[in-house]
Structure 1
Amino acid sequence: MEISTRVDATKEDFVYISALNAFGISSLNSSKNSEDDWTCICVCLSNGNLLFYSQEGKLLFTEKCASTSIVAVKLCPSFCPGNQELVLLTADSRLIAIEGLSLCVALRAACVYISTGERTAKEFSSVLQLNAQQFNLYNINGVNDVLSTGITQVCAFDQYIGAFMAGGRSEPVTREQSPSYLQYICTVGSRGKGEEGASGYDSSSKRQREFVNFVWRSTQPLPGTLTDALFLLTSKISNNIPSFGFRSFLGVGTSRIDQPRQKQQLSDLPTTQIYSKSFLKDGKRKSERTFVAPNGWNLMVIVDNIGRILLVNTKMRRILRIWKGYRQARCGWIEKQQKCSSNPNQAAPSKALFLIIYVPRRGLLEVWSMQNGPRISAFEVDDGRLISINCGILCGNDEILEGNKANSSKSSNVIFLSAEGLFYVSFLVKFLKLGAMFFCFYT
């Protein structure tokens, strides 16, 4: 493997990369919108800046998102235009949700304009206004990771409890239908050394604190300039960019170049309070890593600081299973489709979900069947890292968003990177054959 390019993300002293993400940009061809044209690399810095690069290492544009470090960045499902949003978590417990459609159009346009030399990344960043919202996680501190599980329908019990917590016993419930919310899962954990005792337990006086918070956000549409421009402006754009009026938006070749738009930084957006609707509480436990299952399974695993792996149902908000003795473990998910010959009347192929656990202290790579199945396989491996590839495609079609693409069983989203820099996927081929046999027998 060769290094294709090197990028200096920052030249400032004491500024470092705090989070990374990469995702594909969907193809403009309507028949191939389940495929990506190119890959965007999202780089978050400790000074709150957000940088977008092309796969060739070209800087597309930058955004000032916060005055503190950006802890995490995730491409998540949403109700916003494009059915996706880029969620940023800052060190001061704020969430910034960037609308997926506006981000996709901006990235496509930036790639074209910069590659043709019409605009530089600095010029593009000075006029581009992304459609976004900023939220403050009320009374939730020390959040080290966030993910979204999509839109959830609130049951009547949660609706009445929420009204009671908001306004007391006299608070009326006026909605006849249960409202929908976008659910965020925020995990609390240490971000560095020295924040916990030698035994790994929480040494603070607050023994009963929440280490997982389920936060709900209202599904009201985002107001913004770029979304309006996408549907109202009709000026044509060359170079395979859709007719969204982007040249008029940037002031290229029109009178609007003499009337520049005042750009508002994402860090200056008005803040909305969002609250934790439920939580998992344990004063001794801190989250280290979270790994969410493919869409449709409503599962995630949390690796904590005391050597446990917790399997959580994100819909029921409950812990289903706990593995002990897995300190510093890393996990991944593999979804397998299999149509068993013993059930010929089954029209659609059945699906099975497997959890991959890498235990560096034992040098083992384990495969477990979900949700309550046994360990079906284990491999001895050298030192390395288990990499879970679940970045997704920005503005992909519904099949991609729902996780029902037909070729999902042909490729794995988990690879193993050795200490020598080698990628291993051959063990997955052996596992998939074993998993298919086990799945047919187990079901």
Structure 2
Amino acid sequence: MARRSHLTELGCIACKELDRLGAGKEGWLANDPNLFLALDTNSLALANRSFVLVVDWNDSPPVSIQPTLSPSVEGEIAAIEWLIFDDFRVLALGTSNGFLLFYSMNADLIHKQIVHPSRIIRIRVRGSDGNFPQSTSSNEICIVMPGIIARFDGADIQNFLQKWFQEMQSYRRENDYGRLPYQLWNVGKFGPCTDAAITGIMPPPLLELESSQRYYCAVTIGEDAVISAFRLSEDRNRSLVGAILSKVVPATFSTLSSFSKMIWRSNQEADKPKEVKPQAFARASVLTCLRDPPRKGERFALSPSGSLAAIADSLGRILLLDTQALVVVRQWKGYRDAHCLFMEMLVSGDASSSDLPHYEKSKSDYCLCLAIHAPRKGIVEVWKMRIGPRLLSVQCAKGSKILQPPPKLDSSVSDSSAYTPLEVFLLNGDSGQLSLLRP
């Protein structure tokens, strides 16, 4: 009897343009820290510090993007990610000097703005398909920098891009639509973070006045603190007392100062170009922190609902964190340099109804799992959440990587009953073969 394979080959990304990114060398895909990858539903974006290549495994010609970046101003490419909508998709680039750029599939620069003068290490996308609870934060883009988190609302970006695509024949210059609004928090109390994510919306702290402001929970990992959690407020005031003082005390002085500025301000100063100042930080309060030297947090994966997070540390362990209770609920050992991604599998129970030809599977037909890629062992394991068994183990070639497309960003909720499960893909760096992991 033939051995069952859990990998379904989708196509090959091998092409001569990959030579500019170091393809062909041993370990080029997994060992180059300056190589960035982002998977879409039918294409893969690869980038180094100054060049981006979009490869389609359906025999479409590759697209090259050569951003015009000044090393002293924008810096170099430091992160990439796809932004997928119903009608279009764009590629987001983050630079080492804190700039965020959007490019179309025709290599047109759509937008460029600075988020904060710091290196962007991750662009994290969270979408919603209507299956998430109301307490979670969805349809957002988080920009992660060392000790800093910025949040862009997905609806703002969607409206911005829709306007650009509708009028792209008339508007070809960058920043024609102004700056995208966003929120910024300083989460570097325990040192710079290596990765972070906003896990969801949380209730306000005790003794806080009821308001329309929302509070987010953010989890960070880093060298000084393996795990730390913060309550992020939309309010930039430091406390309730500070909010009162900041409005009452300066009231008289602000009236006098504004009048004096009208006297000495000259017309020449009004004609000078305005410099873009860094946005002020909103309030971030510490919730908890796990320090365990010499353990360091290295890689971070968040479940679709944000209720679970997997943290791979420097000691070869993987911690499963309940982001609502902020408690580690499970731990794996012996996984050096591991990478984790959450995925979904069909529930192995009563499959009689799901096997019917016209049966449309829903979210209840799937269970949440964690895919762990252990490159030193050369395997990909799938474990059932939260405390379930290991469901399978798949051998993979040396120099492979597990990838996952970002969720779709769309403010409208689909009424379709069909459900698309969360899937994990495996890219073989030596052959360029892309496969889908099908448990």
| TM-score interval for Structure 1 and Structure 2 normalised by the shorter chain | 0.5 to 0.7
Are the aligned partners of 2:127 and 2:409 in contact in 1 as well (CA < 8 Å)?
no
Aligned-partner Cα distance in 2 for 1:273–1:218: 5
Are the aligned partners of 2:225 and 2:296 in contact in 1 as well (CA < 8 Å)?
no
TM-score where L is the length of structure 1? 0.66
What is the aligned counterpart of 1:408 among 420, 426, 435? 420
Matched, 1:316 2:325: yes
Are the aligned partners of 2:154 and 2:409 in contact in 1 as well (CA < 8 Å)?
yes
What is the aligned counterpart of 1:103 among 148, 157, 177? 157
Task: Give the structure 2 partner of residue 361 of structure 1.
Answer: 376
Are the aligned partners of 2:148 and 2:188 in contact in 1 as well (CA < 8 Å)?
no
Aligned-partner Cα distance in 2 for 1:413–1:284: 34
Gaps of 5+ in 2: 1-12, 16-54, 56-61, 129-133, 237-270, 354-361
Matched, 1:218 2:230: no
Are the aligned partners of 1:97 and 1:132 in contact in 2 as well (CA < 8 Å)?
yes
Aligned-partner Cα distance in 2 for 1:405–1:47: 44
Task: Give the structure 2 partner of residue 6 of structure 1.
Answer: 64
Q: What does 1:29-428 align with in structure 2 at a 5 Å threshold?
A: 36-76=86-126, 84-91=139-146, 93-114=147-168, 116=169, 118-122=170-174, 125-137=175-187, 139-153=189-203, 159-160=205-206, 173=207, 181-189=215-223, 209-218=224-233, 265=276, 268-295=278-305, 298-338=307-347, 340-341=349-350, 349-398=364-413, 406-409=418-421, 412-419=422-429, 420-425=431-436, 428=437
Aligned-partner Cα distance in 2 for 1:342–1:98: 41
Shift of 1:371: 1.4
TM-score where L is the length of structure 2? 0.66
Aligned-partner Cα distance in 1 for 2:194–2:65: 26
Shift of 1:289: 0.8
Using the aligned pairs only, state the percent identity. Answer: 23
Shift of 1:361: 0.9
Are the aligned partners of 2:116 and 2:279 in contact in 1 as well (CA < 8 Å)?
no
Aligned-partner Cα distance in 2 for 1:348–1:104: 26
Shift of 1:340: 3.7
Shift of 1:181: 2.2
Distance 1:60 1:302, change over 3 A: same
Shift of 1:188: 1.2
Structure 1 residue runs of 4+, over 6 Å off? 77-80
Shift of 1:138: 5.5
Please tell me the residue identity of whatever aligns with 1:386.
Answer: K
Shift of 1:311: 0.9
Distance 1:342 1:212, change over 3 A: same
Higher relative contact order (CA 8 A, sep 6+): 2
Distance 1:313 1:284, change over 3 A: same
Aligned-partner Cα distance in 2 for 1:280–1:423: 37
Are the aligned partners of 1:339 and 1:349 in contact in 2 as well (CA < 8 Å)?
no
Distance 1:348 1:10, change over 3 A: closer
Aligned-partner Cα distance in 1 for 2:295–2:398: 26
Shift of 1:215: 1.2
Please tell me the residue identity of whatever aligns with 1:186.
Answer: T
Aligned-partner Cα distance in 2 for 1:264–1:398: 39
Matched, 1:17 2:74: no
Task: Give the structure 1 partner of residue 46 of structure 2.
Answer: none
Please tell me the residue identity of whatever aligns with 1:282.
Answer: D
Aligned-partner Cα distance in 2 for 1:143–1:376: 32
Please tell me the residue identity of whatever aligns with 2:190.
Answer: I
Shift of 1:83: 5.1
Shift of 1:339: 8.1
Aligned-partner Cα distance in 1 for 2:309–2:148: 22
Please tell me the residue identity of whatever aligns with 1:7.
Answer: I
Gaps of 5+ in 1: 26-35, 161-172, 190-208, 222-259, 432-443
Say what the alpha-carbon RMSD is for the aligned residues.
3.3
Moved more, 315-324 or 347-356: 347-356
Aligned-partner Cα distance in 2 for 1:354–1:76: 18
Shift of 1:126: 4.8
Please tell me the residue identity of whatever aligns with 2:323.
Answer: T
User: Structure 1, residues 310-360: CA drift from partner, whole Å, max 9, x if none?
Assistant: 11111111111111110011122221344843899xx98343122111111
Distance 1:348 1:132, change over 3 A: closer
Shift of 1:372: 1.3
Distance 1:324 1:11, change over 3 A: same
Task: Give the structure 1 partner of residue 10 of structure 2.
Answer: none
Are the aligned partners of 1:62 and 1:121 in contact in 2 as well (CA < 8 Å)?
no
Aligned-partner Cα distance in 1 for 2:363–2:121: 41
Please tell me the residue identity of whatever aligns with 1:120.
Answer: R
